[in-house]
Structure 1
Amino acid sequence: MFDPTAYENIKVVTEGDIYDRDLSGEIIVIDRNDWINAAKLSRKYEISFTKTGYEPNLLSAIMNIEAGLENLSAELLESVKAKQLAGCKVNISFSIHHKNEMVVFKEVHKGLEEIWGRDRVIVQTALLDPLGDKPTIKSHVQVSFNRLVYEEQIDDLSEMVDYMISSLEKIKKIIE
């Protein structure tokens, strides 16, 4: 019988948790993508959502789960050395449409540090039309963990979704 990889188990459990929250009306799933790169033997799953009542084009949260060839081979080879690679990368990000003011960037960074901790790498990227005169911009904020997530930590991903929802609530207060 086929034994699913850590990537597949983490993806299925996380997807189920997010869709349960969507069905309960807590959040609204906006988009979902499931990629397989046959040239590099890698997989990537992405799901985005927002809180019920929020405008999806103004504020959303995205979870990425990725596993490459080294992660798959580590599980299939089952050597002691390979076990440290038998997991996947999880990245959290937020898409925000807000005023083009430095104070907003600083408050978003501070708010996410309060929720996710100072150990996380938080990177903000702004997208704007340099020739436009709009007072608002779209930014992308990524929260990285700089480590693999293993199957044993699968329960932590539900807590991660809670943090994502708390982050949406905090960001909403900042950008209003």
Structure 2
Amino acid sequence: MFDPTAFENLKIVIEGAVYDRDFSGEILVTDRNDIINLAKLERRFEISFVDKVNRGKKITAIWVLEAKLENLAAELLPATLSEKTAGCHVAVKFELEHPNEFSIFKDIKKALFEIWGDSRNIDQLIQMVPFENQTKIKNVVTIKFNRLIYEDQIDDLTTMVDFMIKSLRDLSKIIK
């Protein structure tokens, strides 16, 4: 019989947690990607959603779950690799548009550190067309957790939805 990998089990929990909030009317799921990279033998799952209350703010939350070859191999071939690598990488992203003002970048980072903790890596990558006179830029904010997530931490994943919704709401106050 097929025994699902940690990636599959974590993905199901993430989907369930997000879709429960979608069905309750708090958020709206806007995209979902389940990708298998055959060249690198990696899995990637992304689910995107917006806060229904602030839908007009153009802020999207994206939950990313990844398992690389070494993670899958450690789980499927435990005799050859350490079980410590038999987990998944989790990241949270927020895509938002706002004026290209340094104070906004600082406020975003401060707000997210308050929600997620200062032990996280929070990166901001802006996208803009340099030859156009744009009033707003696109900012992709990524929160990295700097460790693998294992199946015994499944309960932590469901509480992450609360943090993501709070982040969406706090970010909407910053970009006005």
User: Which of the five TM-score ranges fits, normalised by the shorter chain?
Assistant: over 0.9
* Number of residue equivalences: 176
The equivalent of 1:138 in structure 2 is 138
The equivalent of 1:28 in structure 2 is 28
User: Structure 1: which 5+ runs fail to align?
Assistant: none
Q: 1:39 offset after TM fit, Å?
A: 1.7
Alignment-mate amino acid for residue 42 of structure 1: E
CA distance in 2, matches of 1:125, 1:136: 14
**Alpha carbons 1:92, 1:142 under 8 Å: kept:** yes
Percent of residue pairs bearing the same amino acid type: 52
The equivalent of 2:173 in structure 1 is 173
Matches within 5 A, 1:85-124: 85-124=85-124
Deviations 1:121-163 (Å, cap 9, x if unpaired)?
0000111111111221110000001110000001101111111
Q: 1:80 offset after TM fit, Å?
A: 8.7
SS at structure 2 position matched to 1:74 = helix
Alignment-mate amino acid for residue 53 of structure 1: V
User: Structure 2: which 5+ runs fail to align?
Assistant: none
Q: 1:54 offset after TM fit, Å?
A: 2.5
Q: TM-score, normalised by structure 2?
A: 0.96
Does 29-38 or 57-66 show the bigger shift? 57-66
Q: TM-score, normalised by structure 1?
A: 0.96
**Alpha carbons 1:49, 1:56 under 8 Å: kept:** no
Q: 1:64 offset after TM fit, Å?
A: 0.5
Does 35-44 or 77-86 show the bigger shift? 77-86
Does 90-99 or 74-83 show the bigger shift? 74-83
CA distance in 2, matches of 1:82, 1:140: 34
The equivalent of 1:73 in structure 2 is 73
Alignment-mate amino acid for residue 139 of structure 1: N
SS at structure 2 position matched to 1:104 = helix
CA distance in 2, matches of 1:102, 1:163: 24
**Alpha carbons 2:54, 2:169 under 8 Å: kept:** no
Q: Superposition RMSD on alpha carbons, in Å?
A: 1.3
SS at structure 2 position matched to 1:171 = helix
**Alpha carbons 1:30, 1:56 under 8 Å: kept:** no
Answering whether residue 64 of structure 2 is matched by residue 64 of structure 1, we say yes
The equivalent of 2:157 in structure 1 is 157
Q: 1:58 offset after TM fit, Å?
A: 1.4
Alpha carbons of structure 1 residues 19 and 56: separation in structure 2 relative to 1, 3 Å: farther
Alignment-mate amino acid for residue 62 of structure 2: I
Alignment-mate amino acid for residue 100 of structure 2: N
The equivalent of 1:127 in structure 2 is 127
Does 80-89 or 112-121 show the bigger shift? 80-89
Q: 1:18 offset after TM fit, Å?
A: 0.4
Q: 1:164 offset after TM fit, Å?
A: 0.6
CA distance in 1, matches of 2:31, 2:57: 12
CA distance in 2, matches of 1:79, 1:21: 40
